[in-house]
Amino acid sequence: MAEAVITMDGWCTLHDTRTFDWSSWKMTSEQERSEAIAEFEQLMTKWEQTEEEKKGSQSIYKVVGNKADLLFIFLRPSMDELEEIKREINKSKIGDYLIPGYSYVSIVEMTMHNPMDEGKDRVLDPRVEARLKPILPRWEHACFYPMARRRNEEANWFEIDKAERTRLLYDHGMTGRKYAGKVKEIITGSIGLDEWEWGVTLFAHDPLQFKKIVYEMRFDEVTTKYAEFGDFIIGNYLAKEAVATYFAL
């Protein structure tokens, strides 16, 4: 039996996609639409205050293609807050037009696979704190996808030695480092919480970099042999200042 990995865990995370019901929105009066947008901007302001107080973070993305229209990403210290935020959106005026779609529940995760980290007291390291409770970068584009590790006869991630797992992930990390400054990444774990095992959230100024990094990593041994991927979704950052324009008819 392989030695189980030890993780450090941070904020609870909700990826929440919504399709906007434009037909119903158009049948709503201009006054009601204005009120709905204003109320939504107030919600965003409240969320920003939470972020300023270092009690969470969030971003909204305009999704490309028909999988959804908006992707919300929320990080909070507790699952209670994530459920309350969902409910607050649904109870709000604009919530009537934000039809819930695919969502993903997970917790920010760091593993001890990097051999250079062995023996260090990471809990006290401020960089660790920053990674476990990350403030989402306001980069122009985001990409989300869930993944899992294979448990097949010929390739069973959970059966191989911890040292081998560390080596494979180290090589994988080396590929990632080539994209420093171009791609930021947050890993969240969903084992016991949602489908798949991990969620990968990427940020970039140029969405071509999502294609380049994921493509190059597909040749990494850890991916080639052990990775299974769910669906990918990409979106463009929606700033609070652009919300009124987004919903304007």
Catalytically active residues are: 145
C-beta of residue 97 within 8 angstroms of C-beta of residue 89 = no
Given phi > 0 = left and psi -120 to 50 = alpha, else beta, which region is 163? Answer: alpha
- 137 carries a ligand binding annotation: no
C-beta of residue 61 within 8 angstroms of C-beta of residue 204 = no
Residue with tokens 């037909």: 23
Say which amino acid occupies 121. D
Kindly tell me which residue out of 32, 48, 130, 158 binds a copy of itself, with binding defined by CB under 8 A.
158
Q: What minimum distance in Å lies between the beta carbon of 86 and a copy of itself?
A: 7
What is the Cα 67 distance to its own chain's centre? 16
Distances (CA, A) of 46 to 14, 50, 85, 87, 192: 17, 6, 11, 15, 30
CB closer to a copy of itself, 180 vs 215 = 215
- For a copy of itself (CB under 8 A), the number of binding residues is 85
DSSP-H helix ranges across 139-196:
162-177
CB closer to a copy of itself, 137 vs 207 = 207
Instruction: Give the residue from 185, 206, 80, 78 showing the smallest Cα distance to 134.
Output: 185
Question: In which element (H, E) is residue 49 found?
Answer: helix 30-52
Q: What minimum distance in Å lies between the beta carbon of 208 and a copy of itself?
A: 6
Q: What minimum distance in Å lies between the beta carbon of 125 and a copy of itself?
A: 20
Q: What minimum distance in Å lies between the beta carbon of 240 and a copy of itself?
A: 18
- The interface mask with a copy of itself, positions 170-209, x = CB under 8 A, is -x-----------------xxxxxxx------x----xx-
CA distance 54 to 238: 21
Site for a copy of itself in 22-81 (CB under 8 A): 22-23, 26, 62-67, 69, 79-80
CB closer to a copy of itself, 24 vs 52 = 24
Site for a copy of itself in 227-246 (CB under 8 A): 227, 231-232, 234-236, 246
Site for a copy of itself in 118-157 (CB under 8 A): 140-141, 143, 145, 151-156
- 149 carries a ligand binding annotation: yes
- 148 carries a ligand binding annotation: yes
- 146 carries a ligand binding annotation: yes
Binding-site annotation: residue ranges: 131, 145-149, 172
